[in-house]
Amino acid sequence: MLNDAREHGFRIIPICPFVRGQYAKHPEWADLFTTKPGENPVIPMKPTSAG
């Protein structure tokens, strides 16, 4: 996952608790993630249509 993200220029949103835990142990991965180590991600919500 990390190599693919780095190779394709993607950033990882660490939604999964396991991934967040591993990232907290490896702050050197910070260039690949949208958050700081140990920080919970903010998940953008898709706007809903009224009506």
Residue range of the domain that includes 9: 2-32
- For residue 50, being part of any structural domain is answered with no
- For residue 15, being part of any structural domain is answered with yes
Per-residue pLDDT at 26: 95
**What one-character-per-residue DSSP string does 1-51 give?**
-HHHHHHHT--B---SHHHHHHHHH-GGGGGGBSS-TTPPPPPPPPPPPP-
Per-residue pLDDT at 46: 79
- For residue 24, being part of any structural domain is answered with yes
- Condensed to tens digits (0 to 9), the pLDDT of residues 1-51 reads 899 999 999 999 999 999 999 999 999 999 999 999 988 888 778 777 765
CB 23 within 8 A of CB 13: no
- For residue 11, being part of any structural domain is answered with yes
Question: Model pTM?
Answer: 0.72
Q: Into how many domains does the chain fold?
A: 1
- For residue 41, being part of any structural domain is answered with no
- For residue 48, being part of any structural domain is answered with no
Per-residue pLDDT at 34: 93
C-alpha torsion angle, residues 28, 8, 20, 42 (rounded to 10): 110
